[in-house]
A and B are shown apart, each in its own frame.
Chain A
Amino acid sequence: MSTDTAVGPAGREVRQTHRVVIRFAGDSGDGMQLTGDRFTSEAAAFGNDLATLPNFPAEIRAPAGTLPGVSSFQLHFADYDILTPGDRPDVLVAMNPAALKANLKDLPHGGILIVNTDEFTKRNLAKVGYEANPLSDDSLEPYTVHEVAMATLTRGALEPTGMSKKDAERAKNMFALGLLSWMYHRGTEGTEQFLREKFAKKPDLAEANILAFRAGWNYGETTESFAVTYEVAPARLAEGTYRQITGNLALAYGVVAAGQQAKLPVFLGTYPITPASDVLHELSKHKGFGVTTFQAEDEIAGIGAALGASFGGSLGVTSTSGPGVALKSETIGLAVALELPLLILDVQRGGPSTGLPTKTEQADLLQAMYGRNGEAPVPIIAPQSPSDCFDAALEAARIALTYRTPVFLLSDGAIANGSEPWRVPDVDELPDLSVTFATEPNAPDGSDEFWPYLRDADTLARPWAIPGTAGLEHRIGGLEKADGRGTISYDPDNHDRMVRLRQAKIDGIPVPDIDVDDPSGEAEVLVVGWGSSYGPIGAACRRVRAAGLTVAQAHLRHLNPLPRNLGDVLRSYRRVVVPEMNLGQLAMLLRARYLVDAHSYTKVAGLPFQAEELAGVLTDAVKGDLPA
């Protein structure tokens, strides 16, 4: 990190720096997610580019002070466009020994460590297996340590409120936020305003939190322990109006926008599941936009109701995660046979089975691609960042509505909960998704019959004739149907034709050619990714190029069908590297489809790739050091 130094008004050093990674870590009950979110909002309002990585346990309140109970929030903010939440923190805030123990290994030597000393009691240390207090031995010597008795100081600041000690201490996360806000020259008004609104119904709590926040800020300002503060200038992003957004929020907004652009009511049939539930929560607030949300008795009922709504002329949507997809598979197959529009939003998490509900993974690709009985092709779209979930939802809806097919959207835990600035689109620029329902009989012989499986010559889509349309009464179902006429057919040749027609319809969906980013134009190694690994792969490419090497990057948004030019692109490089948070699912598809010797690099640790590790892999590939 390159920095410029100046001297501030208080005689303290002010360093200008281009980017900073801060990690707040504490107990699940310490409010780390709120603290991180709030700092993120301040960074966003200041105009920094940013990316965040919340990381929390599946248990709502794991036993206090234990390693499994540690919750953290990492924020990367910068004065230029950044791609990831950062590999390692520059600053680690550890609210207790468990948080220190779980996170210290990520803090580089020389990093800043701010520790809440009040929690470093014998009992708490023993709970996480510290034999000696790391604050009093020399184990923290490689770091710049700031020991702050946050609970004590918060208690003191809140004394005038008459609050109990225990209640007062709960505001210590705001003390930490205040201190960090001071260190990074962030304003206080935004946070104070936020706290007043958040606790509008409990003004006492609002004031207590504001007092703690100010106490943290003043602590930095008045004590001598912090000799340096830091400034990160606003980023020079493309012109426009920006807001901060998480992937799940962008996904929900994309669904609302899709309904508006299609002029169709939206029906979400779903069942709560981590990490997709926020999509339900958000959409349930937008009934005013014609969105109906239905919390069903199970995953199957959720998608069944969505498909029923699609039959009736709504944009049917279901949201879920991997285990839910498994339950919905049969209904997805039915939707393939019925040829009705349906969006399946899969926010992937660690598997198999219940796996790691709150951690990320991209291991549902093959489930989305092939996880059904019979030949049941389904288009697949994967957003590459939190804000991209908005555009991906619109694109998924476009395909579903145009081609009368279920469409998978594969988000994942990292981008679902992570946030970044989003250039808010002008509504006039959004695609027109309007649809035409069938209204007239269509029999080729000119009779008054309606043939539900007579296809459009261009799209191969069948007509969408909704109940209530006179003269088009028809029956559809999971049994094989006769090509065109749509009656039940067990004819062998018809089945062969229908299987191929359904496949041809999906294969024929036009998707944009894949772009290759190769600034030098001379790269011999191509790295191909999909979905949320866009950020780390892009950041890794920047590092490799900064080191004087060349590497080309291509990122897949459409996974089914794949871009038409993909085979040619893959074959034009000496080496193709495919990093994935699974055991090589895309690599297998690429190898099978294009006979390209793609090198698969995989990690399934529940966390996104780090740019540093990918840069190492790509450097090896460029230098020819990768294993065959």
Chain B
Amino acid sequence: MSAVELGQPSFGGGLDLVPTTDEPQKAKDFTSDQEVRWCPGCGDYAVLASVRGFLPELGLKRENIVFVSGIGCSSRFPYYLDTYGMHSIHGRAPTIATGLAVTRPDLSVWVVTGDGDALSIGGNHLIHALRRNMNITILLFNNRIYGLTKGQYSPTSETGKVTKSTPMGSIDAPFNPVSLALGAEATFVGRALDSDRKGLTEVLRQAAAHRGASLVEIFQDCPIFNDGSFDVLRKGDGVAERLIPLVDGEPIRFGNDGEYGVVRSATGGLEVAAVGGPGGVAEDDVVIHRAGEEDPTQSFALSRLSDQDLTHTVTGIFRKVDRPTYDDGARAQVAAAKQQATDRGDSLGALLRGKDTWAVLPEPENEQ
């Protein structure tokens, strides 16, 4: 069978079909009347503040934004935003978002999910939403613990994690969400830290603008059950030596004075090395980040630099490439079929009659 001409729109921005407004908006306009009920000190507050602060920047009509969530602490997010929202069931938010995204191109559809919601019970939906490249933006709050069920380990908890359900330490190996997303053919993958408002907003900005599925992993602290889990990335002397920020088109350098860089390793991957000085690598050996590279190999290798123990953590945008979205394709097929139907003069009556009918005539009245 030959490929069908879909009449796909040229690649545009993720919000191209969403109506905008000229009215100035503020964070307050996106704040619902619901009292926020996360624990004091929860990283979700910082993310909520960043999102509320960032949404006005999009200039979209507020009624054309929908946040869909699953189950878990972070999934209460939609209640606190004065947009349309649905707090659905555990792991299934990407499926609800899929139905919305396919049928309503005029909506900006966001999914809010957590490490348990997205990677454990909802792992299947996450990878398929990424594979299909649905035009949705997925915010994956990763606190590496189950908070709402009070402290069991999650699929991103480091091996050996002692929790209520793993008193002798967890046995299973964790997912690296960025690696997983890249393996699932994601077209946009980013990572940010809850407390890094500037970095998070920049990733959100580009994720929203991306046409296709965007996955943003947000490292987020659970002060109750996994307190301080990301502190080594926030404060203290070693932060600059741990965080590897990605800047598209730039050599990947980090450290207090850029004294470290990412270079190709002998095994075909990437590794961290000191740059310059005795024993250091040459500046030219430092890898240049290319988020738009079709081949995801380098982005994947970058994702592998993040260790479970946070010795190194890569942040920023790993990958950002164009690929047809499922929802644009589905709508194009329907539009093409509708046009054909109009051209042919199709009608419901003709459909119901089909090709083979026979008539039963009224009985002749006088014949008894």
Contact = CB atoms under 8 A, between A and B. Distances in A.
A24 interface: no
A467 B356 contact: no
Nearest to A330: B89
Interface string A460-496: 0000000111111111111100000001100000000
Interface residues of B, number: 62
Contacts of B83: 473
B103 A243 contact: no
Interface stretch (B38-46, B63-71, B165-173): B63-71
B100 A308 contact: yes
A592 interface: no
A439 to B, nearest CB: 11
Given A287-B333, A467-B63, A467-B104, A475 B98 contact: no
Contacts of A312: 99-100, 103-104, 107
A384 B275 CA distance: 78
Interface string B325-368: 00000110110111011000011110111101111111100000
B125 interface: yes
Contact of B84 (A302, A303, A474): A474
B356 A44 contact: yes
A304 interface: yes
B84 A309 contact: no
B179 interface: no
A139 interface: no
Given A240-B360, A267-B102, A309-B103, A304 B96 contact: yes
A581 interface: no
A311 B84 CA distance: 10
A468 B64 contact: yes
Nearest to A197: B355
Contacts of A473: 62-63, 82-84
A41 interface: yes
Interface stretch (A95-103, A231-239, A553-561, A569-577): A231-239
A479 B338 CA distance: 39
A331 interface: yes
Contact of A288 (B89, B100, B346): B346
Interface in B41-82: 61-66, 68-69, 71, 78-79, 82
Contacts of B88: 304, 334, 477-478
Contacts of B337: 286-288
Interface in A282-331: 286-292, 294, 296-298, 300-314, 316, 330-331
A309 B95 contact: no
A257 B79 CA distance: 37
Contacts of B363: 236
A304 B356 contact: no
Contacts of A309: 99-100, 102-103
A265 B84 contact: no
Contact of B351 (A241, A256, A265): A256
B359 A287 contact: no
Interface residues of A, number: 72
A290 B337 CA distance: 8
Interface string B150-177: 0000000000000000000000000000
B347 A427 contact: yes
Contact of B98 (A237, A301, A472): A301
Nearest to A254: B352
A267 B63 contact: no
B358 A304 contact: no
A369 interface: no
A424 interface: yes
A282 to B, nearest CB: 10
A170 to B, nearest CB: 24
A142 interface: no
A469 B107 CA distance: 11
Contacts, number: 207
B92 A243 contact: no
A479 to B, nearest CB: 6
A301 B125 contact: yes
A582 B352 CA distance: 33
A296 to B, nearest CB: 7
A307 B96 CA distance: 6
Nearest to B334: A287
A240 B103 contact: no
A301 B95 contact: yes
A33 interface: no
A617 interface: no
B34 interface: yes
A303 to B, nearest CB: 8
Given A41-B356, A257-B352, A475 B104 contact: no
A307 B124 contact: no
A294 B86 contact: no
B128 interface: yes
A583 interface: no
A248 to B, nearest CB: 14
A334 B348 CA distance: 33
A242 B103 contact: no
A44 B100 contact: no
A288 B85 CA distance: 30
- With a 10 A CB-CB cut-off, give which of B92, B96, B124 has the most chain A CB atoms: B96
A244 interface: yes
Contact of A304 (B65, B78, B99, B341): B99
Given A311-B99, A311-B100, A467-B107, A427 B348 contact: yes
A275 interface: no
Contacts of A472: 63
B66 A487 contact: no
A371 interface: no
B137 to A, nearest CB: 15
Contacts of B196: none
Given A304-B88, A468-B104, A471-B63, A244 B356 contact: yes
B87 interface: yes
A471 to B, nearest CB: 7
Nearest to B346: A288
A257 B360 contact: no
Contacts of A302: 95
Give the 4 A-B residue pairs with the shortest CB-CB distance, closest first.
Answer: A304-B95, A308-B99, A477-B87, A288-B341
Given A306-B99, A331-B89, 13 more contacts: A241-B358, A288-B346, A289-B348, A303-B95, A304-B96, A309-B100, A311-B99, A316-B99, A469-B63, A475-B32, A475-B84, A477-B78, A478-B89
29 contacts: A237-B360, A238-B360, A240-B359, A240-B360, A241-B358, A243-B354, A253-B352, A260-B348, A269-B99, A286-B351, A287-B337, A289-B346, A292-B330, A296-B95, A301-B94, A301-B95, A301-B125, A302-B95, A308-B97, A308-B103, A313-B103, A330-B89, A467-B64, A467-B107, A473-B83, A474-B85, A475-B86, A476-B87, A478-B89
Interface of B: 32, 34, 61-66, 68-69, 71, 78-79, 82-89, 92, 94-100, 102-104, 106-107, 124-125, 128, 330-331, 333-334, 336-338, 340-341, 346-349, 351-354, 356-363
Interface of A: 41, 44-45, 47, 236-244, 253, 256-257, 260, 265, 267, 269, 286-292, 294, 296-298, 300-314, 316, 330-331, 333-334, 338, 423-427, 467-479, 487-488
